[in-house]
Amino acid sequence: MNVLLNELHAYHHEVAGKINRIKALLKKLKYESASGDDCKLLFKMLESLHGETEQHHHENEELIRRALLTTEAPIHPRVKDIERDHEAFGRIAGQLKMLEDSTQETSAIVAAVDNFIMKYYNHMEAEENIFFPMADKWLSDIQWNEIKCHWH
């Protein structure tokens, strides 16, 4: 697979590891008596998923997605959803951050984070199984070089 796609893949792997740690924490918040520190840790971990690295990752994927649209590749509906997902994750990050300062019940926080994780898994799955293989198949060396010029 193309070296840039491998880089995106490796980032997904890293994020999946973080999400697993977030899930363990959610379980604690759901079924055990969690402390305020656990909640703080949860938001800290979520924040690490919404930083500059994440933003750059999405921008890199957008470079590839836009290049793919210029090819003859039959565009799968889930590839079209990717741009919408990237925009949505920005909004969700803001909403989760707002939850931190709110007086919401733990159950509402857990539900919101669970929902985010489900969306994120779904998104990564579509990228890895549909979007990346399509890009690998259809983009030319010239296009990859062009993408590389704008890569973060």
Cβ at position 12, least distance to Fe ion in Å: 6
Identify the burial level of 95 via C-beta atoms within 10 angstroms of its C-beta, where 0-12 means exposed, 13-18 middle and 19 or more buried: exposed
Site string for Fe ion, 22-61 (x = CB under 5 A): ----------------------------------------
Number of residues in contact with Fe ion under rule CB under 5 A: 1
73-85 core/surface letters (b: 16 or more CB in 10 A; e: else) = eebeebbebbeeb
Cβ at position 61, least distance to Fe ion in Å: 5
**By C-alpha distance, which of 96, 98, 87, 120 is closest to 45?**
96
Cβ at position 5, least distance to Fe ion in Å: 10
Q: With CB under 5 A as the contact rule, which of the stretches 42-50, 65-73, 121-129, 133-141 interacts with Fe ion?
A: 121-129
Q: Which residues bind Fe ion (CB under 5 A)?
A: 127
